[in-house]
Amino acid sequence: MVGENSKKITIISLVCVVIGVAIAGVFWFFYSAPTASQTTAVSSSESPQTPLKMSSYYIVLPDPFIFNVSGKDRDRVVQIKVQLMVRGEVNEALANKHAPLIESVLLQTFAATTVEQLRQPLGREQLRQQALTTVQATMNKMTDMPVVERVLFTGFVMQ
């Protein structure tokens, strides 16, 4: 009798563990799936990969952005060279396709800054983050994906 009760307890314990693992798997699947679909585009011919495992592509925007910014003492002319980092060939194609729109959005974002903001390294980093946020929001409207992972300043001159 003691051996039979021990077997029943073992079987019931194993069933509970299997049910717990199944529930955890379902929660993981439903709560992690939207994040993955927002950060990467996978065509039917590609194997599913996480964004960090996908190849990085750098899109060089050919012309530097040249614009005026206002300051307390005087206005300045600023030139910024920009590259976009994307993950995967699909995002690269989308970013190249929408490059004129991206350039327009970046120019609007850059033109809204001040000399005081651009003099500080933290201000330039905030501008870069704001540019990324604006580009991703625009690309989300156009493609239902953020497409661009990073906006990189590869040249910065203020006169």
Residues 30 and 57 in one domain: no
Residue 10 lies in a domain: yes
Residues 92 and 114 in one domain: yes
Residues 35 and 56 in one domain: no
Instruction: Flag whether pLDDT at 36 surpasses 50.
Output: no
2-6, 81-85, 134-138, 141-145: range with lowest mean pLDDT: 2-6
Distances (CA, A) of 24 to 17, 27, 36, 37, 50: 11, 5, 18, 20, 21
Burial of 41 (0-12, 13-18, 19+ CB in 10 A): buried
Q: Which domain covers residue 2, as residue numbers?
A: 1-39
Element (H, E) at 80: strand 76-87
7: Cβ–Cβ under 8 A, 6 or more apart, which residues? none
* pLDDT for position 152: 94
Q: What is the 3-state secondary structure (H, E, C) of 14-51?
A: HHHHHHHHHHHHHHHHHHHHHHHHHHCCCCCCCCCCCH
Residues 64 and 34 in one domain: no
Residues 7 and 81 in one domain: no
* pLDDT for position 71: 82
Amino acid at 125: E
* pLDDT for position 28: 59
Instruction: Flag whether pLDDT at 76 surpasses 60.
Output: yes
Instruction: Flag whether pLDDT at 46 surpasses 80.
Output: no
- The first and second tokens of residue 22, run together, are 């199944």
CATH code (residue 138): 3.30.479.30
105-136 pLDDT, tens per residue?
999 999 899 898 999 999 999 999 999 999 99
The count of structural domains within the chain is 2
* pLDDT for position 47: 44
Of 53 and 91, the structure prediction assigns the larger pLDDT to 91
Residue 44 lies in a domain: no
Residues 68 and 132 in one domain: yes
Closest CA to 109 of 149, 76, 78, 63: 78
Per-residue pLDDT band for 35 (boundaries 50, 70, 90) equals very low
Q: What does the mean pLDDT of the chain come to?
A: 82
CA–CA separation, 108 and 113 (whole Å): 9
91: Cβ–Cβ under 8 A, 6 or more apart, which residues? 40, 41, 57, 145, 147, 148, 149
